[in-house]
Amino acid sequence: MRHLSTAFALLAFAAGCASAGARTTTAAVPQQAGAPAPAAGQDTAGIGPQYPSTYQRHPNPPVLIRNATIMTAAGQEIQGGSILFKDGRIVSVGTNVQAPSDAVVVDATGKWVTPGVIDTHSHIGVYAAPGTFAESDGNEATRPVTAEVWAEHSFWPQDPQIPLAIAGGVTTIQALPGSANLIGGRSAVLKLVPARSVQEMKFPGAHYGLKMACGENPKRVYGQRGGPSTRMGNMAGYREAFIAAQAYRRKWDKWNKDHQGDPPDRNLRNESLAEVLRGNIYVQNHCYRADEMMQMLDLAHEFGFKIRSFHHAVEAYKIADVLAREGTASSIWSDWWGFKEEAMDGIYENGALLQQAGARVVIHSDDASGIQRLNQEAAKAMYHGRRAGIPVTRDQAVRWFTANPAWVLGLDSLVGTLEPGKMADVVIWSADPLSVYARALQVYNDGWLVYDRNDPTHQPKMDFTLGQGEHP
Amino acid sequence: MIAFLLAQTIAITGGTVYPVSGPKIDNATVLIRDGRIAAVGTNVAVPAGATRIDAAGKWVTPGFIDGAGQMGLREISAVQNTNEATLRGNEVAAAFNVLEGINPASTLIAVNRMEGITSTVAVPNGSLIWGQAVMIDLDGETIDAMRVKSPVAMVADLSEGAKEAGGGSRAGVAQRLRRVLNDAREYATRRADFRRAQIQPLSASAADLEALQPVLRGELPLMIVANRRSDIETALRIAREYKLKLILAGAAEGWMISGEIAAAGVPVLVEPMDNIPTFDALGIRYENAPLLARGGVKVALMETATENTRDLRQQAGNAVASGMTWEQALRAVTLTPAEVFGVADRYGSLDAGKIANVVVWSGDPFDFSTGVEHVYIRGREIPLRSRQTELLERYKTLPPKY
């Protein structure tokens, strides 16, 4: 997974981090005088769009993919199926689909089709290749609470890891700050397309996430730097931050209501946290151990917010019943374990046990290599679950890397399944995507053919890659 | 030892057998006796009293061998005091043999062998010369019981990871390695002078220089970690200069010069899923393993995330998806690593007389739908249990059974 010399160094600190995301449309915040007061709970509390998405759909003709095995992630596996999409939207899916005369027809006989892969946990762009200090932009590890930072302000759209992920069928990612901090900042939810700026990639209408981290990492990073140095210190740190945010929110809610006097001073940290309290920013919580996840659920109850997903969650199976009841998803690896102490109890059957309990399962990567094979990771988790006697359907396993991560990002009405009206994020696979031998052949993002394994003119290269590593 | 005391005869019958040393044999029997393979074929008489394993519809292969990891040398990589792989403070750690650092009670062993990995190469980590790697079987209560061969290779680094040891320059690294090898040669002819301090100071201790003698004699392979094409070429050049038996590890840009590597008769250890560019290897790509194999290079695979050495299967499957033939990939996790590390007389294929490391799979060992049905190490049937299966057992219904 890494070059030998570095792989043998401690890989745990390099990778296993988690973070939270951010979204485009909201801000907890301050309004300019005279603007209409935002209602609590709405995504309009702010001063208008900040750093707005400039994403635009790439114009392309309608596409009909015919005679494929279509795994819709909506309950169906259609043999000899066709899918038509036009203007970035799926028009129809089934065995009897008519193509308009201007459609590009793709014969996918013997091939498989799924929705675009969605990763709830990526650090590409913020920890870009070639992995030098110059590109280490994922952890604002200067103080334990940095809710004020936004991953999009670190994101490098020329990261050469982006095309690799696209070639793995990925169409949407949540790029997260790292897990050094108790509260690491806002995530960026992005369409994974070649672009000159992160704004051109920002998923329109997506909610920001907020990266929070439990356990070893904040302790390790701040233990000798003023704390926290313990798990109880971690908890106190979250609580203090949200207490401040409560006061901030009250101040702004009052001012937005009566507009008396000058508006309160803006505070970027509290803006992010107040939006969590309003339900507009989703908490994305790096947390390995079951007992710590229970603590975090209590924290969420104390302040009245929801944890949208635990990330890594290697012990989620121990509290699958609780997670189902709370409606908190688990973004997990299939088999990572043992690289750090809080990851000791990882088991292959984590996903299957969560699924069986009715909890929401997401296969995530947290890794620039793993993001290229999320389908394989889901397959590993599904088959190991089945061998342990835990039923998991193929549709469920596909949902683990499509529909369920879409829900975690609040995008489940837009992407994640192959249903009419959904965004045309579509992957054609060379074989059953739950086999190790499958490779993405074509990847459509919003109807745009962003990758074609057999056509070098549809294999995007980042600027960095030009002229590099391509000796004749 | 227990395996030998309880010597028994096991007949795995009716499976599709992949001996690796030859073509697959349908409906064949693998007979195991006293820890060795006694016979393989369609016409094998099963002795009375043998334990019969019905493998109809199953696939039977040699146990998989991981080409490089740190099994037994690190329990939790982030917990420093569970790590034994690095001799700190010695950039030329040639005398450092990791064998006695191996923990036979490591929980990683059971987790990985039940997925069909039966032997691994435990490699030290370090700076310029990392030390001596050893091969172990993933069964045994003692280090002696686990040992397959020690050492199997001297390990050195010519990648960017070694630059500090070369004063910050790749050229410095290569020159320092040559200086050490020159001094080891000189030491061999002037041991008495060295003891009496009658020669100028040499670049390593007597123990380290002594440990390099089998390398200089071409008896012990020098495994060199190199990823950039130019570093690989430096490794080939140094091996030619000193007539060393070379193994390349990493070799991320090896695909660019597969002909040169093949012509030198140098085998490589690669990790097929590794494709993230760094300045050490901007040309890294998924297709490295298949392109090397196609170029005639002897390729063995490795999974360097030691706790998940079991993902060697996935590495192999992805090598196939990237263009390696399935047969090449199977060989790359069985007979080829056995050859590379000089144990092919005992390991790596299903042939009479070899050590009985055998796996019965429900199907294609590289694909996720396949489960492991039986694992034999030195003829002992390995229980398919680990602390992970115990955690599953405890928590599969909630509340848990404490």
Inter-chain CB proximity A3 and B281 less than 8 Å: yes
CA atoms of B208 and B181, how far apart (whole Å): 10
pLDDT along chain B (402 residues), means of 10: 62 98 98 98 96 98 98 96 96 98 98 98 98 98 98 98 97 98 97 92 95 98 98 98 98 98 98 97 96 98 98 98 98 98 98 98 98 98 98 97 86
CATH 3.30.470.10 fits B64-343, yes or no: no
Q: Is residue A439 one of the residues assigned to a domain?
A: no
Q: Is residue A196 one of the residues assigned to a domain?
A: yes
pLDDT along chain A (472 residues), means of 10: 43 35 30 33 51 95 98 97 98 96 97 98 98 96 98 98 98 98 98 98 95 98 97 98 97 92 94 96 98 98 98 98 98 98 98 98 98 98 98 98 98 98 98 98 98 96 85 47
The verdict on B122 touching A (C-beta cutoff 8 Å) is: no
Inter-chain CB proximity B250 and A5 less than 8 Å: yes
CB contacts, 8 Å: A125 with chain B: none
Q: Is residue A258 one of the residues assigned to a domain?
A: yes
CB contacts, 8 Å: B275 with chain A: 164, 369, 372
Token couple for A330: 């688990």
* DSSP secondary structure letters along A50-84: SS-----PPP---EEEEEEEEE-SSS-EEEEEEEE
Q: Which of A440, A456, A447 minimizes the C-alpha distance to A63?
A: A447
Q: How much is the pLDDT for A30?
A: 33
Q: Strand runs (DSSP E) across B166-266, as ranges?
A: 222-226, 246-250
Q: How much is the pLDDT for A50?
A: 83
The verdict on A338 touching B (C-beta cutoff 8 Å) is: yes
Q: Is residue A457 one of the residues assigned to a domain?
A: no
Instruction: Look at the domain B1-63+348-402 and name its fold.
Output: Urease, subunit C; domain 1 (2.30.40)
Residue B166: partners with Cβ closer than 8 Å, 6 or more residues away:
B128, B172, B173, B174, B175, B176
Preferred mutation among B70, B71, B73, B77 to probe A, highest tally of A CBs within 10 A: B77
CA distances from B101 to A340, A405, B83, B278, B371 (A): 20, 43, 9, 31, 32
CB contacts, 8 Å: B111 with chain A: 337-338
C-alpha A308: how far from chain center: 11
Residue B397: partners with Cβ closer than 8 Å, 6 or more residues away:
none
3-state helix, strand, coil in chain B (%, to 5): 35, 25, 40
Inter-chain CB proximity B70 and A383 less than 8 Å: no
CB interface of A with B, residues 129-148, below 8 Å: 129-132
Q: Looking at the partner chain, which of B85, B159, B318 has a beta carbon nearest the beta carbon of A5?
A: B159
Name the DSSP letter for residue B133.
Answer: E
Cα dihedral across residues B19, B25, B27, B31: positive or negative: negative
Q: Is residue A437 one of the residues assigned to a domain?
A: no
CB contacts, 8 Å: B273 with chain A: 1, 369, 373
Preferred mutation among A1, A2, A3 to probe B, highest tally of B CBs within 10 A: A3
Residue A228 preceded by cis peptide, ω within 30 = yes
The verdict on B165 touching A (C-beta cutoff 8 Å) is: no
Name the DSSP letter for residue A286.
Answer: E
CA atoms of B366 and A148, how far apart (whole Å): 46
CB contacts, 8 Å: A470 with chain B: 283
Q: How much is the pLDDT for B283?
A: 95
A–B CB contacts, 8 A cutoff, strictly below: 173
Residue A146: partners with Cβ closer than 8 Å, 6 or more residues away:
A140, A177, A181, A183, A184, A185, A269
Inter-chain CB proximity B159 and A372 less than 8 Å: no
Q: How much is the pLDDT for A48?
A: 59
User: What stretch of H or E contains A380?
Assistant: helix A374-387
Q: Is residue A292 one of the residues assigned to a domain?
A: yes
Can you tell me whether residue B320 is helix, strand or coil? helix
Q: Which of A169, A180, A174 minimizes the C-alpha distance to A145?
A: A180
End-to-end CA, chain A: 26
Nearest CA in chain B to A135: B278
CB interface of B with A, residues 4-63, below 8 Å: none
Q: Looking at the partner chain, which of B107, B125, B273 has a beta carbon nearest the beta carbon of A1?
A: B273
CB interface of B with A, residues 285-314, below 8 Å: 302-305, 307-308, 310-311, 314
Residue pair B309/B108 in contact (Cβ under 8 Å)? The answer is: yes
Rounded to the nearest angstrom, the minimum Cα separation between B397 and chain A is: 9
| ipTM metric | 0.96
Can you tell me whether residue A321 is helix, strand or coil? helix
Domain that residue A234 falls in = 14-33+44-56+117-412
Q: What are B25's strand-pairing partners?
A: B17
Give me the amino acid identity at B210. E
Instruction: Provide the Cα torsion A163, A167, A171, A172; round to 10°.
Output: -60
CB contacts, 8 Å: B317 with chain A: 436-437
CB interface of A with B, residues 159-188, below 8 Å: 160-161, 164
CB interface of B with A, residues 138-157, below 8 Å: 157
The count of domains in chain A is 1
Give per-residue pLDDT as tens, A12-43.
333 334 333 322 223 333 333 333 333 333 33
Q: Is residue A260 one of the residues assigned to a domain?
A: yes
Preferred mutation among B248, B270, B396 to probe A, highest tally of A CBs within 10 A: B396
Q: How much is the pLDDT for A14?
A: 35
User: What stretch of H or E contains B146?
Assistant: helix B143-146
Rounded to the nearest angstrom, the minimum Cα separation between B250 and chain A is: 6
CA atoms of B273 and B363, how far apart (whole Å): 22
Sorted by where each begins, the domain ranges of chain B are: 1-63+348-402, 64-343
The verdict on B278 touching A (C-beta cutoff 8 Å) is: yes
Give per-residue pLDDT as tens, A389-443.
999 999 999 999 999 999 999 999 999 999 999 999 999 999 999 999 999 999 9
Domain containing A288 — which CATH number? 3.20.20.140
The verdict on A358 touching B (C-beta cutoff 8 Å) is: no
Name the DSSP letter for residue A134.
Answer: G
Q: Is residue A455 one of the residues assigned to a domain?
A: no
Can you tell me whether residue B270 is helix, strand or coil? strand
Backbone φ and ψ of A311, nearest 5°:
-120, 140
Inter-chain CB proximity A1 and B305 less than 8 Å: yes
CB interface of B with A, residues 211-240, below 8 Å: 225, 227, 229
Can you tell me whether residue B254 is helix, strand or coil? helix
Token couple for A98: 């008519």
CB contacts, 8 Å: A320 with chain B: 398
Strand arrangement, sheet containing B268-270: B64-69, B117-122, B129-137, B147-157, B222-226, B246-250, B268-270, B299-301
Nearest CA in chain A to B369: A383
In terms of DSSP H, where are the helices of B190-216?
191-195, 206-211, 213-216
Q: What are B136's strand-pairing partners?
A: B120, B147
Q: How much is the pLDDT for A49?
A: 67
Buried b vs exposed e over A229-250: b needs ≥16 C-beta within 10 Å? bebebbbebbeebbebbeebbe
Inter-chain CB proximity A340 and B275 less than 8 Å: no
Predicted TM-score (pTM) of the model is 0.94
Residue pair A363/A400 in contact (Cβ under 8 Å)? The answer is: yes
